[in-house]
Amino acid sequence: MDLQLKQARVLVSGGSRGIGRAIVEAFAAEGARVAFCARGEAGVRATEAALAGAVFGQAVDVTDPAQMAAWVEASAERLGGVDIIVPNVSALAGGGDLATWRRAFDTDLLGTVSFFNAALPYLKRSPAGAVVLISSVSGREVDRFAEPYGVLKAALIHYGKTLSARHAGDGIRVNTVSPGNVYFPEGVWGSIERDSPELFAQCLAANPMGRMARPQEVANAALFLASAAASFTTGCNFLVDGGLTQGVQY
């Protein structure tokens, strides 16, 4: 299937590792022109080097709206516009103290809002504007990552649905991908595997398919929803969870 992403102008936040890195790589493999940001300069440069000039990145603090706006503007100028954005950054925060809640709120939710607001004028001018938010199954069911991570991931699902209704008339499609457990060595599940092997084994056993997702499998869903192959799909929350969640989506 031709996803018609060649020369698409794509912006991805949190693009230097894990799911974000897989999304950047997948768009680049389809011939898209990709700008990405991440918090760490070293990760940005390593990703650029690994993809041999196919993408370009910048170190950005997504909790700073001015930095986000400046990055979007500079990327749009270099690409000649913006067709697709994928807000992906998360603080992966857990804990009930207010400082943790504020950090998660500023990163997961307001970082996404700042990204979308900055990109909106460019998306309106695109012939095929698309937004793919990265949420989580923790936003759909109460699990061990419920607070504040799951609460804010639930807010992202609601935000995506709201944007889809508000901007359908602008020709902008907005969808959400909610991954289940995604394993990569430097990620949260890699840390749990090393530090708490019994907990890891318990969580692994909860996956009906007997394994956790690979970042590329989440990236594939994001690419589909961003592409012309999903041209009549907007406002959906697409689960990539291997059957982990038990609720029925109506």
- Which residues neighbour 49 within 8 Å (Cβ) at sequence distance 6 or greater? none
Q: What is the total residue count of the chain?
A: 250
* 6 carries an active-site annotation: no
- Residue 34 β-bridge partners: 10, 55
**Choosing from 13, 16, 149, 159, which is the catalytic residue?**
149
Residue 221, phi-psi category: left (phi > 0), alpha (psi -120 to 50), beta (remainder): alpha
* 13 carries an active-site annotation: no
CB 49 within 8 A of CB 42: no
Identity at 148, one-letter amino acid code:
P
**Choosing from 13, 75, 126, 136, which is the catalytic residue?**
136
CA angle 174, 24, 37 (to 5 degrees): 85
**Choosing from 13, 75, 126, 153, which is the catalytic residue?**
153
* 136 carries an active-site annotation: yes
What is the DSSP-derived secondary structure letter of residue 21? H
User: 13 φ, ψ to 5°?
Assistant: -95, 155
**Choosing from 16, 135, 178, 227, which is the catalytic residue?**
135
What is the DSSP-derived secondary structure letter of residue 137? G
Which residues are identified as catalytic?
A: 135-136, 149, 153
